[in-house]
Amino acid sequence: MIATFFYFLAAFTLVFMLVLVMRPVAQNVGLVDRPCNRKQHEGEVPLVGGLAIYVAITLCSFIVTPFDANYKIFLLSTSFMVLIGALDDYHDIDARLRLIAQFLIGSLMVFGADLYIHQLGSIAGGDTVTLGMWGPLFTVLAVVTCINAFNMTDGVDGLVGALSINTFISLGIIAVTSSIYFDSAVTSMLAGAVIAFLFFNIGHFKKGRYKIFMGDAGSMLMGLTIIWLITFMTQGENPVMRPVTAVWLIAIPLMDMFSVMLRRVAKGHSPLRASRDHLHHLFLASGCSNTRTTAYISAISAMFCFAGIYQEKQGVGEHIMAQLFIGLFVIYNVIVFKQDKKLNID
């Protein structure tokens, strides 16, 4: 427990210091987010949150994680992801190029680290569903999905950070309470890094010259790190948790992304079309402030996480967990479809 707190504090302190150093540099080189039709913030805000988190967790993980082949691939993958994200933050790159990079990163995880999803548990109510030769492809698609799901939630101050913290804490709780050993210092370190970022994004230091954003570098880093942890914890000979539990821990980003794509297709638009139709946009259009929007969505996410942890620890059948999740996703879609139509968001 003391070691876990130490890693939390180390990551928190490093991010705090790095932000103070990186912020003026970002302003000088133009790595800032400028207001436009889709971005309603005031002034130019440095996009250094993701970079600070990346540097902090990389330095801390040298202590926490054995420097083996898998870690080297993880470090390479996150470095590549942050580079692509930073380039996108600095100068918008083509969405197709970004997607190709994400597929390459997913391939690094599968073929470089030999880490992939080969079974989905008993989600059909019978024997374990195995993916066989389709496992690597399924994993690459899961990596791309998770990266973009978290990236798409980054539209309101603190939201992607809060959703990431919910997932990291949930994974940590499952790890600590599991009979299978998993070092919870990793999730503690990640939570500490993101909480430090939130101090500058929505906390005491957000006003005046200390305000920062996470940027695509940070939101995509969150998605990649989470899918890597989830895959590691649900696969192998001694999994820490069941695969179906993972979807409960990232429910809001997943539901939001797939719901947005369905609504865009229903309107005759491309599912990849950029528009203001995400869950946080619906809250904002309903009259909620940025702070309340983040608080409400984070609370809903926390409830999903709690439900996932509870069902995991109570041994609820995986097929029941899957059916409940699908049912809630249907209800979620009915609500947001009606709200979207009511507010006429496009």
Per-position DSSP letters for 5-41, written without gaps between them? HHHHHHHHHHHHHHHHHHHHHHHHHT-EE--BTTB--
Q: How many helices (H) and strands (E) does the chain have?
A: 13, 2
How is the chain split into domains, by residue range? 2-343
* DSSP letter, residue 209: G
**Both tokens assigned to 99:** 């997607």
Mean pLDDT of 291-319: 96
- Most distant CA atoms of the chain, gap in Å: 59
Least confident stretch, 35-49, 188-202, 205-219, 258-272: 35-49
Number of C-alpha atoms within 13 angstroms, CB side, residue 225? 30
Residue 42 pLDDT grade (very low, low, confident, very high; cuts 50, 70, 90): low
Average pLDDT for 225-233: 95
What's the pLDDT at 36? 57
What pLDDT sits at residue 205? 63
Range name among 195-204, 220-229, 302-311 with the lowest pLDDT average: 195-204
Taking the model in full, what pTM does it have? 0.93
Could you tell me the two tokens for 262? Answer: 């369905």
pLDDT of residue 35: 64
Q: 244-259: string of b/e by CB count within 10 Å (b at 16+)?
A: bbbbbbbbbbbbbbbb
The pLDDT assigned to 211 comes to: 87
- Average pLDDT across the chain, whole number: 89
How is residue 289 written in tokens? 């402030």
Query: Could you tell me the two tokens for 310?
Result: 């509870």
Share of the chain above pLDDT 70, in %: 91
Could you report the per-residue pLDDT of 48-94, keeping only the tens digit for each?
999 999 999 999 887 766 667 788 899 999 999 999 999 998 888 88
Contact 145, 178 (CB under 8 A): no
Q: Which candidate, 103, 194, 160, places its Cα nearest to that of 279?
A: 160
- What confidence score (pLDDT) does residue 15 get? 96
pLDDT (0 to 100) of residue 238: 84
pLDDT given at position 155: 86
Question: Which of 31-35, 61-65, 281-285, 294-298 has the highest average model confidence (pLDDT)?
Answer: 294-298
Q: pLDDT at position 342, please?
A: 77
One-letter identity of residue 272: L
Q: What pLDDT, on the 0 to 100 scale, is given for residue 224? A: 97
Dihedrals phi, psi of 5, to nearest 5 degrees? -65, -35
Residues 96-122 pLDDT 10s: 899 999 999 999 999 999 999 999 999
Question: CA-CA distance, 303 to 195, in Å (whole number)?
Answer: 19
